[in-house]
A and B are shown apart, each in its own frame.
Chain A
Amino acid sequence: MPDVKMIVNGKKVSGFVECRTLLVEFIRNDLQLTGTHVGCDTSQCGACAIHVDGKLVKACTMLALEANSCEVSTIEGQANDDGSLNFIQQAFKDHHGLQCGFCTPGMVMATADLLKTNSKPTELEIRDHLEGNICRCTGYHNIVKAILAASGQDTSHIAAE
Protein backbone atom coordinates (compact mmCIF):
# COMPACT_ATOMS: atom_id res chain seq x y z
CA MET A 1 0.00 0.00 0.00
CA PRO A 2 1.26 3.51 -0.71
CA ASP A 3 2.41 5.63 2.18
CA VAL A 4 0.98 9.03 2.96
CA LYS A 5 2.49 11.82 5.01
CA MET A 6 0.93 15.02 6.19
CA ILE A 7 0.97 17.53 9.00
CA VAL A 8 -2.21 17.32 11.05
CA ASN A 9 -2.85 20.00 13.67
CA GLY A 10 0.85 20.84 13.63
CA LYS A 11 2.11 17.27 14.06
CA LYS A 12 3.82 15.17 11.41
CA VAL A 13 1.87 11.99 10.74
CA SER A 14 2.22 9.15 8.26
CA GLY A 15 0.60 5.87 7.41
CA PHE A 16 -0.07 3.29 4.74
CA VAL A 17 -3.40 3.52 2.98
CA GLU A 18 -5.32 1.90 0.17
CA CYS A 19 -5.57 4.26 -2.79
CA ARG A 20 -9.33 4.46 -2.28
CA THR A 21 -9.03 5.58 1.36
CA LEU A 22 -10.86 8.84 1.88
CA LEU A 23 -9.16 11.60 3.80
CA VAL A 24 -11.86 11.44 6.47
CA GLU A 25 -11.26 7.69 6.88
CA PHE A 26 -7.53 8.24 7.33
CA ILE A 27 -8.18 10.96 9.92
CA ARG A 28 -10.80 9.00 11.87
CA ASN A 29 -9.57 5.41 11.57
CA ASP A 30 -5.80 5.70 11.23
CA LEU A 31 -5.16 8.84 13.25
CA GLN A 32 -8.06 8.21 15.65
CA LEU A 33 -9.11 11.84 15.42
CA THR A 34 -12.83 11.19 15.57
CA GLY A 35 -13.95 14.78 16.02
CA THR A 36 -14.31 15.06 12.25
CA HIS A 37 -17.68 13.42 11.61
CA VAL A 38 -19.22 11.59 8.70
CA GLY A 39 -22.84 12.64 8.37
CA CYS A 40 -23.91 11.92 4.82
CA ASP A 41 -20.81 10.69 2.99
CA THR A 42 -22.23 12.39 -0.13
CA SER A 43 -20.67 15.90 0.18
CA GLN A 44 -23.93 17.45 1.31
CA CYS A 45 -23.80 17.86 5.08
CA GLY A 46 -20.40 19.35 5.95
CA ALA A 47 -19.93 17.42 9.22
CA CYS A 48 -16.54 16.32 7.81
CA ALA A 49 -15.37 19.86 6.96
CA ILE A 50 -11.68 20.42 7.70
CA HIS A 51 -8.93 22.67 6.35
CA VAL A 52 -6.33 21.39 3.89
CA ASP A 53 -3.51 23.85 3.23
CA GLY A 54 -5.70 26.52 4.79
CA LYS A 55 -8.73 25.81 2.61
CA LEU A 56 -12.10 24.51 3.76
CA VAL A 57 -12.84 21.11 2.18
CA LYS A 58 -15.12 18.16 2.75
CA ALA A 59 -12.90 15.32 3.91
CA CYS A 60 -15.40 12.72 2.67
CA THR A 61 -14.89 13.91 -0.89
CA MET A 62 -11.13 13.89 -1.07
CA LEU A 63 -8.73 10.96 -1.16
CA ALA A 64 -6.15 10.65 1.60
CA LEU A 65 -3.46 10.50 -1.08
CA GLU A 66 -4.63 13.84 -2.48
CA ALA A 67 -3.66 15.39 0.86
CA ASN A 68 -0.16 13.93 0.76
CA SER A 69 2.39 16.53 1.94
CA CYS A 70 -0.42 18.92 2.93
CA GLU A 71 -1.12 20.73 6.19
CA VAL A 72 -4.41 19.64 7.66
CA SER A 73 -6.41 21.23 10.49
CA THR A 74 -9.25 19.45 12.22
CA ILE A 75 -11.52 20.32 15.13
CA GLU A 76 -9.01 18.73 17.52
CA GLY A 77 -6.55 21.49 16.67
CA GLN A 78 -8.92 24.38 17.33
CA ALA A 79 -8.79 24.73 21.12
CA ASN A 80 -6.39 27.20 22.74
CA ASP A 81 -2.97 25.92 23.78
CA ASP A 82 -4.11 25.55 27.40
CA GLY A 83 -6.98 23.31 26.29
CA SER A 84 -9.70 25.92 26.77
CA LEU A 85 -12.25 26.51 24.04
CA ASN A 86 -11.20 28.97 21.36
CA PHE A 87 -13.34 32.04 20.69
CA ILE A 88 -15.51 30.33 18.08
CA GLN A 89 -16.14 27.24 20.20
CA GLN A 90 -16.84 29.42 23.25
CA ALA A 91 -19.34 31.51 21.27
CA PHE A 92 -21.15 28.36 20.10
CA LYS A 93 -21.36 27.27 23.75
CA ASP A 94 -22.46 30.67 25.04
CA HIS A 95 -25.16 31.17 22.43
CA HIS A 96 -26.56 27.65 22.30
CA GLY A 97 -25.18 27.18 18.79
CA LEU A 98 -25.48 23.41 19.10
CA GLN A 99 -27.87 20.84 20.42
CA CYS A 100 -26.85 17.30 19.54
CA GLY A 101 -23.43 18.54 18.42
CA PHE A 102 -22.97 16.23 15.47
CA CYS A 103 -22.62 19.01 12.90
CA THR A 104 -20.63 21.25 15.23
CA PRO A 105 -17.07 20.27 14.21
CA GLY A 106 -17.90 21.15 10.61
CA MET A 107 -19.69 24.33 11.66
CA VAL A 108 -16.68 25.48 13.69
CA MET A 109 -14.25 24.71 10.83
CA ALA A 110 -16.48 26.55 8.32
CA THR A 111 -16.70 29.51 10.71
CA ALA A 112 -12.93 29.61 11.18
CA ASP A 113 -12.59 29.64 7.38
CA LEU A 114 -15.10 32.49 7.03
CA LEU A 115 -13.57 34.69 9.74
CA LYS A 116 -10.10 34.30 8.24
CA THR A 117 -11.09 36.36 5.20
CA ASN A 118 -14.06 38.27 6.59
CA SER A 119 -13.64 39.38 10.19
CA LYS A 120 -17.08 41.04 10.43
CA PRO A 121 -19.45 39.02 8.25
CA THR A 122 -23.09 40.06 7.88
CA GLU A 123 -25.86 37.63 8.72
CA LEU A 124 -26.35 36.99 5.01
CA GLU A 125 -22.64 36.31 4.48
CA ILE A 126 -22.66 33.88 7.40
CA ARG A 127 -25.67 32.00 6.10
CA ASP A 128 -24.15 31.92 2.62
CA HIS A 129 -20.87 30.51 3.92
CA LEU A 130 -22.70 27.79 5.85
CA GLU A 131 -24.56 26.65 2.74
CA GLY A 132 -22.66 23.37 2.77
CA ASN A 133 -23.16 22.64 6.47
CA ILE A 134 -26.42 21.06 7.52
CA CYS A 135 -27.77 21.19 11.08
CA ARG A 136 -30.99 19.32 11.91
CA CYS A 137 -31.37 20.62 15.48
CA THR A 138 -30.87 24.33 15.86
CA GLY A 139 -32.66 25.83 12.88
CA TYR A 140 -29.34 27.68 12.34
CA HIS A 141 -30.53 30.74 14.24
CA ASN A 142 -28.24 30.35 17.22
CA ILE A 143 -25.35 29.24 15.03
CA VAL A 144 -25.59 32.54 13.16
CA LYS A 145 -25.86 34.34 16.48
CA ALA A 146 -22.77 32.55 17.80
CA ILE A 147 -20.76 33.52 14.73
CA LEU A 148 -21.86 37.16 14.97
CA ALA A 149 -20.79 37.11 18.61
CA ALA A 150 -17.49 35.37 17.82
CA SER A 151 -16.72 38.18 15.39
CA GLY A 152 -17.47 40.78 18.07
CA GLN A 153 -20.74 41.97 16.58
CA ASP A 154 -24.06 42.94 18.12
CA THR A 155 -26.47 40.02 18.33
CA SER A 156 -29.45 41.84 19.86
CA HIS A 157 -31.36 41.85 16.54
CA ILE A 158 -31.27 38.05 16.44
CA ALA A 159 -34.39 37.35 18.46
CA ALA A 160 -34.41 33.74 19.58
CA GLU A 161 -32.18 32.22 22.24
Chain B
Amino acid sequence: MSERWRITARFSTADGLRAALKALREAGLRDYEVFSPYGLIEEEPLMARRGSVVRAFAVVGGLVGAAGGFALAILSAEIYSLIVGGKPPAAIIPYCIVGFELTILAVAIFAIVGLVMLARMRLTALPEQYDPGYSDATFGLHADCLPEQASTVAALLRKVGAEEVHER
Protein backbone atom coordinates (compact mmCIF):
# COMPACT_ATOMS: atom_id res chain seq x y z
CA MET B 1 0.00 0.00 0.00
CA SER B 2 1.39 3.39 -0.95
CA GLU B 3 2.37 5.96 1.64
CA ARG B 4 -0.38 8.33 2.76
CA TRP B 5 0.07 11.98 3.58
CA ARG B 6 -1.97 13.74 6.20
CA ILE B 7 -3.25 17.28 5.65
CA THR B 8 -4.54 18.99 8.79
CA ALA B 9 -6.69 22.10 8.50
CA ARG B 10 -8.20 24.32 11.15
CA PHE B 11 -11.42 26.35 10.79
CA SER B 12 -12.95 28.95 13.04
CA THR B 13 -16.54 28.27 11.97
CA ALA B 14 -18.72 25.27 11.21
CA ASP B 15 -19.65 26.88 7.88
CA GLY B 16 -15.98 26.86 6.83
CA LEU B 17 -15.69 23.21 7.82
CA ARG B 18 -18.87 22.38 5.88
CA ALA B 19 -17.51 24.09 2.76
CA ALA B 20 -14.24 22.14 3.10
CA LEU B 21 -16.09 18.84 3.47
CA LYS B 22 -18.15 19.55 0.38
CA ALA B 23 -15.03 20.51 -1.58
CA LEU B 24 -13.22 17.34 -0.51
CA ARG B 25 -16.16 15.14 -1.47
CA GLU B 26 -16.46 16.88 -4.83
CA ALA B 27 -12.75 16.21 -5.36
CA GLY B 28 -13.41 12.52 -4.68
CA LEU B 29 -11.59 12.33 -1.33
CA ARG B 30 -13.30 10.18 1.33
CA ASP B 31 -10.49 9.47 3.81
CA TYR B 32 -10.78 12.19 6.45
CA GLU B 33 -11.68 12.77 10.08
CA VAL B 34 -13.53 15.73 11.55
CA PHE B 35 -13.14 17.32 15.00
CA SER B 36 -15.67 19.70 16.46
CA PRO B 37 -16.42 21.22 19.87
CA TYR B 38 -20.06 20.12 19.49
CA GLY B 39 -22.12 17.66 17.47
CA LEU B 40 -22.68 18.61 13.83
CA ILE B 41 -25.99 17.08 12.84
CA GLU B 42 -26.40 18.85 9.52
CA GLU B 43 -22.90 17.86 8.42
CA GLU B 44 -23.52 14.18 9.14
CA PRO B 45 -24.21 13.28 5.48
CA LEU B 46 -20.82 14.74 4.58
CA MET B 47 -18.85 12.61 7.03
CA ALA B 48 -16.50 9.91 5.77
CA ARG B 49 -18.19 7.20 7.84
CA ARG B 50 -21.94 7.35 7.59
CA GLY B 51 -24.38 6.10 10.18
CA SER B 52 -23.61 4.05 13.23
CA VAL B 53 -23.11 0.32 13.70
CA VAL B 54 -25.12 0.54 16.93
CA ARG B 55 -28.32 0.16 14.92
CA ALA B 56 -27.09 -3.24 13.69
CA PHE B 57 -26.77 -4.26 17.35
CA ALA B 58 -30.35 -3.07 17.88
CA VAL B 59 -31.68 -5.08 14.92
CA VAL B 60 -29.92 -8.25 16.08
CA GLY B 61 -31.24 -7.59 19.60
CA GLY B 62 -34.78 -7.23 18.24
CA LEU B 63 -34.63 -10.50 16.34
CA VAL B 64 -33.11 -12.35 19.30
CA GLY B 65 -35.68 -10.81 21.68
CA ALA B 66 -38.67 -11.66 19.48
CA ALA B 67 -37.51 -15.25 18.96
CA GLY B 68 -36.69 -15.59 22.67
CA GLY B 69 -40.04 -14.14 23.78
CA PHE B 70 -42.12 -16.47 21.64
CA ALA B 71 -39.90 -19.43 22.53
CA LEU B 72 -40.19 -18.68 26.26
CA ALA B 73 -43.99 -18.45 26.13
CA ILE B 74 -44.58 -21.41 23.82
CA LEU B 75 -42.10 -23.78 25.47
CA SER B 76 -43.31 -22.90 28.98
CA ALA B 77 -46.89 -23.66 27.96
CA GLU B 78 -45.90 -26.87 26.16
CA ILE B 79 -43.59 -28.23 28.87
CA TYR B 80 -45.87 -27.46 31.82
CA SER B 81 -49.15 -27.95 29.85
CA LEU B 82 -50.45 -24.50 30.70
CA ILE B 83 -53.97 -24.62 29.27
CA VAL B 84 -55.76 -21.31 29.94
CA GLY B 85 -59.42 -20.74 29.16
CA GLY B 86 -59.58 -23.66 26.77
CA LYS B 87 -57.09 -22.05 24.40
CA PRO B 88 -54.35 -24.04 22.67
CA PRO B 89 -51.04 -24.14 24.60
CA ALA B 90 -49.14 -22.48 21.76
CA ALA B 91 -51.53 -19.52 21.36
CA ILE B 92 -49.72 -17.04 19.15
CA ILE B 93 -52.12 -14.09 19.58
CA PRO B 94 -51.54 -13.47 23.32
CA TYR B 95 -47.89 -14.48 23.08
CA CYS B 96 -47.31 -11.46 20.84
CA ILE B 97 -47.22 -9.49 24.11
CA VAL B 98 -44.35 -11.57 25.52
CA GLY B 99 -42.59 -11.46 22.14
CA PHE B 100 -43.00 -7.68 21.95
CA GLU B 101 -41.80 -7.05 25.51
CA LEU B 102 -38.71 -9.17 25.07
CA THR B 103 -38.04 -7.55 21.70
CA ILE B 104 -37.94 -4.11 23.30
CA LEU B 105 -35.88 -5.36 26.24
CA ALA B 106 -33.29 -7.06 24.02
CA VAL B 107 -33.14 -4.07 21.63
CA ALA B 108 -32.36 -1.78 24.56
CA ILE B 109 -29.74 -4.11 26.05
CA PHE B 110 -28.03 -4.84 22.71
CA ALA B 111 -28.04 -1.14 21.76
CA ILE B 112 -26.47 -0.12 25.09
CA VAL B 113 -23.84 -2.87 24.76
CA GLY B 114 -23.12 -1.74 21.19
CA LEU B 115 -22.89 1.87 22.30
CA VAL B 116 -20.45 1.04 25.10
CA MET B 117 -18.34 -1.13 22.79
CA LEU B 118 -18.18 1.43 19.99
CA ALA B 119 -18.02 4.67 21.95
CA ARG B 120 -14.22 4.47 22.30
CA MET B 121 -14.58 4.98 26.03
CA ARG B 122 -11.21 3.30 26.61
CA LEU B 123 -9.42 5.67 24.26
CA THR B 124 -6.35 6.86 26.18
CA ALA B 125 -4.33 8.58 23.45
CA LEU B 126 -5.59 11.47 21.34
CA PRO B 127 -5.11 11.29 17.57
CA GLU B 128 -1.88 12.65 16.15
CA GLN B 129 -1.96 16.38 15.36
CA TYR B 130 -4.91 16.84 17.69
CA ASP B 131 -5.35 20.49 18.58
CA PRO B 132 -6.77 21.29 22.07
CA GLY B 133 -8.77 24.02 20.33
CA TYR B 134 -10.96 21.30 18.83
CA SER B 135 -12.51 20.96 22.27
CA ASP B 136 -12.89 24.72 22.63
CA ALA B 137 -13.92 26.86 19.67
CA THR B 138 -12.20 25.62 16.52
CA PHE B 139 -13.00 22.90 14.04
CA GLY B 140 -10.44 20.47 12.62
CA LEU B 141 -10.23 18.40 9.48
CA HIS B 142 -7.58 15.68 9.04
CA ALA B 143 -7.50 14.36 5.50
CA ASP B 144 -5.31 11.48 4.29
CA CYS B 145 -4.28 11.41 0.65
CA LEU B 146 -1.57 10.26 -1.76
CA PRO B 147 1.64 12.32 -1.72
CA GLU B 148 0.98 13.64 -5.23
CA GLN B 149 -2.46 14.88 -4.14
CA ALA B 150 -1.21 16.68 -1.03
CA SER B 151 -0.52 20.10 -2.51
CA THR B 152 -3.84 20.12 -4.39
CA VAL B 153 -5.78 19.16 -1.26
CA ALA B 154 -3.97 21.76 0.84
CA ALA B 155 -4.67 24.46 -1.76
CA LEU B 156 -8.32 23.42 -1.87
CA LEU B 157 -8.64 23.71 1.91
CA ARG B 158 -6.98 27.12 1.94
CA LYS B 159 -9.29 28.25 -0.83
CA VAL B 160 -12.45 27.38 1.13
CA GLY B 161 -11.26 29.33 4.16
CA ALA B 162 -9.03 27.18 6.39
CA GLU B 163 -7.16 29.32 8.91
CA GLU B 164 -4.18 26.97 9.07
CA VAL B 165 -3.18 24.08 6.82
CA HIS B 166 -0.29 21.70 7.50
CA GLU B 167 1.04 18.90 5.30
CA ARG B 168 2.83 15.94 6.88
A and B: interacting chains: no
